């Protein structure tokens, strides 16, 4: 079990391709193949199916371990290796759906500081945010997720990265204007148990996280893999399904009404992640946060 082997395996598992993994790691396809073969020989288990490349059960377990190991290793390297952080430039990795009013206000506050802090904001999905942060190519990350009550959403292992709450907002249910519950002040999700829900993970719309929800909805699923908000609203307006949405992402759309979700108490949370050691560079950001969590 070598680290390079694990890195190759993780990249193959993530990209779904030996070729792509090799390109990402600046290896040959051959080397990546040998890495995976070595891991399979060492464990005595088949870790991946080929054509199409997909994780086996054992491979999925190893991939989880590998992700955590490699993340922590990158964090350790970044923490320890001597670098010259430029305090005047703060590189921020941000998920697309994390940009709520609170976050925008935070960024404005930081930008207005004296001495001036130049913000380099880069929007990408969450795994990339975490990788940039761990690798040191970002000074902090702002990521979001949906969670029940006060539980922190598990972006990463606790203890590896420090986290501070930036914003927390309720979740709304999007209904067609003609829906019988459209005028409600608050909705209990149990009432809509048998409704057809749209599963839009990129827009943080994931009815599956509700604890007691029936895993396979009897009426079939509708999966929406885009980040286009208007498209989601159009689907709802045309009675193709209901959707959940963080309040901060809400826009007006004809034929769609938004009703607060009363139970379960889902919340959209935005967190600031940073390396525990390097507080000097992110000091201005941390100071600009409202309350110490």
Partner DNA sequence: CAATTTTACGGGCTTCGTAATAATG
Partner DNA sequence: CATTATTACGAAGCCCGTAAAATTG
Q: Which CB, 3 or 190, lies closer to a copy of itself?
A: 3
Strand 162-176, strand 118-123: pairing: unpaired
35 is an interface residue for DNA by CB under 7 A: yes
Angle of helix 57-80 versus helix 29-43 axis, rounded to 10? 110
DSSP 105-151: HHHHHHHT-SS--EEEEEE--HHHHHHHHHHTS-SEEEEEEEEETTP
Minimum separation from the CB atom of position 21 to DNA (A): 8
Q: Map the footprint of a copy of itself across residues 71-90, applying CB under 8 A.
A: 72-73, 75-77, 79-82
Of the candidate residues 26, 44, 149, 220, the single one contacting a copy of itself (CB under 8 A):
44
Which range, of 20-28, 87-95, 138-146, 263-271, touches DNA by CB under 7 A?
Answer: 20-28
17 is an interface residue for DNA by CB under 7 A: yes
Q: Where are the beta strands (DSSP E) in the chain?
A: 48-49, 54-55, 89-94, 118-123, 140-148, 162-176, 187-188, 198-199, 222-223, 243-246, 256-263, 266-274
Report the partner that residue 247 touches, choosing among a copy of itself, DNA, none (CB closer than 5 to 8 A by kind): none
Q: Which CB, 27 or 224, lies closer to a copy of itself?
A: 27
Taking the alpha carbons of 84, 88, 93, 98 in that order, is the dihedral positive or negative?
positive
CA 179/CA 197 separation, integer angstroms:
14
Of the candidate residues 14, 24, 31, 69, the single one contacting DNA (CB under 7 A):
31
Of the candidate residues 28, 30, 37, 42, the single one contacting a copy of itself (CB under 8 A):
42
Minimum separation from the CB atom of position 221 to DNA (A): 25
Taking the alpha carbons of 84, 88, 89, 90 in that order, is the dihedral positive or negative?
positive
19 is an interface residue for DNA by CB under 7 A: yes
- DSSP element (H, E) containing 5: helix 3-15
Of the candidate residues 42, 50, 135, 283, the single one contacting DNA (CB under 7 A):
50
Q: Which residues bind a copy of itself (CB under 8 A)?
A: 1-3, 42-45, 58, 61-62, 65-66, 68-69, 72-73, 75-77, 79-82, 157-160, 277
């Amino acid at each position: 079990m070598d680290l390079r082997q694990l890195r190759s395996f993780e990249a193959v598992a993530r990209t779904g391709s030996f070729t792509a993994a090799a390109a990402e790691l600046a290896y040959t396809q051959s080397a990546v193949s040998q890495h995976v073969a070595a891991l399979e020989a060492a464990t005595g288990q088949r870790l991946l199916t080929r054509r199409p490349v997909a994780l086996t059960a054992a491979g999925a377990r190893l991939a989880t371990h590998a992700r955590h190991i490699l993340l922590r290793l990158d964090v350790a390297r970044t923490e320890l290796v001597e670098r010259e952080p430029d305090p005047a430039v703060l590189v921020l990795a941000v998920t697309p759906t994390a940009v709520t009013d609170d976050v925008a206000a935070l960024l404005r506050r930081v930008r207005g500081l004296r001495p001036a802090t130049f913000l380099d904001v880069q929007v990408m999905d969450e795994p990339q945010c975490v990788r940039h942060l761990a690798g040191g190519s970002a000074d902090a990350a702002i990521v979001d997720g949906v969670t029940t009550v006060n539980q922190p959403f598990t972006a990463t292992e606790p203890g590896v990265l420090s986290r501070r709450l930036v914003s927390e907002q309720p979740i709304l249910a999007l209904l067609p204007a003609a829906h019988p519950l459209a005028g409600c002040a608050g909705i209990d999700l149990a009432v809509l148990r048998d409704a057809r829900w749209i599963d839009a993970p990129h827009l943080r719309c994931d009815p599956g996280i509700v604890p007691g929800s029936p895993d396979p909805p009897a009426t079939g699923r509708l999966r929406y893999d885009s980040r286009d908000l208007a498209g989601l609203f159009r689907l709802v307006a045309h009675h193709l399904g209901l959707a959940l949405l963080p309040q901060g992402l809400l826009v007006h759309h004809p034929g769609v009404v938004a009703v607060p979700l009363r139970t379960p108490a889902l919340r959209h949370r935005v967190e600031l992640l940073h390396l525990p050691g390097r507080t000097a560079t992110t000091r201005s950001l941390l100071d600009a946060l409202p309350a110490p969590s």
